Amino acid sequence: MQLVRSVSQAKKIIASIKKRGMKIGLVPTMGYLHEGHLSLVRIARKKCDFLVVSVFVNPTQFGPEEDFRKYPRDLKRDLRLLKLEGVDLVFYPSVSQMYPDGFRTYVEVVEWSRLLCGASRPIHFRGVTTVVLKFFNIVQPDIAVFGSKDFQQAVIIKKMVKELNLNVRIVTGRIVRESDGLAMSSRNKYLSEKERKNAAVLYQSLKSVKRAYKKGLRKPRPAVEMMAKMIEQKGGGIDYIQTVDKDTLEPVKKLKKGTLIAVAVFFGRTRLIDNILL
Ligand code: PAF
């Protein structure tokens, strides 16, 4: 497994891999890997000949008040885990490699980047699409794998790929959960013991709505209210609970197959997201 820090070296290696006709896979990450990331790596490993994982805490997707500086990092551990998964190349650029002085170019999927998480994190998705497009240009993957916990991110990236005619297939992996149902996230580490215990309500509330839907509930509002009540009882501060179409992220008037229930909640200062598909 090679560790590559510079864009020029990564491009050189990729050029030689392309020449050999190998299929390239990419899993972009911000590091501090958990089973959720590793499940994406395993999906990608099966679908390509040369597997690249990027580890980069991307400053442009964090707002000024957000946790860019304190975002957890542990490269040594990440490398150990990625080696065990048979990764070929870890791309670990510095901020100045990705964003040299005077950097001015951003790509944004307009409007969709302001929905759901974008309402409270207005620059987030612009940062994500910009860095992901840069990774695509550097690594030239045939496939790239993203997680479904960040459902909106995956939808936005698919839209960018389609509209900018990029030659990469986007694959999504399932949400990996802890034994009590909490979706795995590098940010779970910020939770106090009590917050961590209470945060399990997120998935419980999503499952309650899905159960109610199966029994005939079709109105979004009672579904949202049911979730809000459960979450607030456990001390969660709701950023949003929304019922949207899984492809367009538009709010739905009626719950149906393909409706995404998406939620963002603060436990203490930690913002967690989760979702379920009906
Ligand atoms: O999902 C993430 O970890 C990040 O948003 C990504 C896709 C690696 C871009 O920085």
- Tell me the per-residue pLDDT of 41-86, one tens digit each, with 9 for 90 and over: 999 999 999 999 999 999 999 999 999 999 999 999 999 999 999 9
Which pLDDT score, from 0 to 100, does residue 249 have? 97
User: Residues 165-174: what's their mean pLDDT?
Assistant: 98
Residue 179 lies in a domain: no
Tokens of 170: 């986007």
Kindly name the residue from 4, 17, 24, 37 that is annotated as catalytic.
Answer: 37
H-assigned helices in the chain: 7-19, 35-47, 75-84, 95-98, 117-120, 124-139, 151-163, 193-198, 201-214, 220-233
Contact partners, residue 89, CB within 8 Å, separation at least 6? 1, 2, 3, 4, 10, 13, 50, 51, 52, 53
Task: Please give the C-alpha separations between residue 219 and each of 113, 123, 187, in angstroms, as whole numbers.
Answer: 26, 32, 32
Residue 181 lies in a domain: no
Among 117, 141, 173, identify where a domain stops: 173
Task: Indicate which residue's Cα is closest to atom 8 of ligand 1.
Answer: 29
Pairing of strands 237-245, 50-55: unpaired
Q: Are residues 169 and 190 in the same domain?
A: no
CA of 128 to the centre of ligand 1 (A): 6
Q: Are residues 126 and 206 in the same domain?
A: no
Which pLDDT score, from 0 to 100, does residue 217 have? 98
Q: Calculate the dihedral angle through the C-alpha atoms of 67, 160, 253, 203, rounding to the nearest 10 degrees.
A: -40
Answer whether 123's CB lies under 8 Å from 35's CB. no
Which pLDDT score, from 0 to 100, does residue 134 have? 99
Residue 28, ligand 1, Cβ within 6 A:
yes
Pairing of strands 24-29, 50-55: parallel
Instruction: Give pLDDT tens digits for 83-116.
Output: 999 999 999 999 999 999 999 999 999 999 999 9
The average confidence (pLDDT) of the chain is 98
Query: How far apart, in whole angstroms, are the C-alpha atoms of residue 237 and residue 231?
Result: 8
Task: Please give the C-alpha separations between residue 271 and each of 93, 188, 201, 238, in angstroms, as whole numbers.
Answer: 27, 9, 14, 9
Candidate from 32, 53, 62, 150 with most ligand 1 atoms within 8 A of CB, to mutate:
150
Which pLDDT score, from 0 to 100, does residue 49 have? 98
Q: Are residues 63 and 159 in the same domain?
A: yes
Provide, rounded to the nearest whole percent, the portion of the chain with pLDDT above 70. 100
CA of 140 to the centre of ligand 1 (A): 17
User: Residues 196-224: what's their mean pLDDT?
Assistant: 98
Task: Indicate which residue's Cα is closest to atom 3 of ligand 1.
Answer: 29
User: Residues 238-249: what's their mean pLDDT?
Assistant: 97
Answer whether 178's CB lies under 8 Å from 184's CB. yes
Provide, rounded to the nearest whole percent, the portion of the chain with pLDDT above 90. 100
CA of 157 to the centre of ligand 1 (A): 11
Give the chain's domain count: 2
Instruction: Give pLDDT tens digits for 218-239.
Output: 999 999 999 999 999 999 999 9
Residue range of the domain that includes 41: 2-173
Q: Are residues 169 and 191 in the same domain?
A: no
CATH of the domain at 262: 3.30.1300.10
Q: Are residues 18 and 106 in the same domain?
A: yes
**Residue 92: Cβ within 10 Å count:** 19
- 14 CB burial (10 A radius; 0-12, 13-18, 19+): buried
Q: Are residues 40 and 76 in the same domain?
A: yes
User: What pTM did the predictor assign?
Assistant: 0.97
- Could you confirm whether 124 is annotated as catalytic? no
Residue 58, ligand 1, Cβ within 6 A:
yes
DSSP string, 230-262: HHHHTT-EEEEEEEEETTT-PBPSS--TTEEEE
CATH of the domain at 93: 3.40.50.620
Tokens of 151: 């459902």
Which pLDDT score, from 0 to 100, does residue 188 have? 97
Q: Are residues 56 and 116 in the same domain?
A: yes
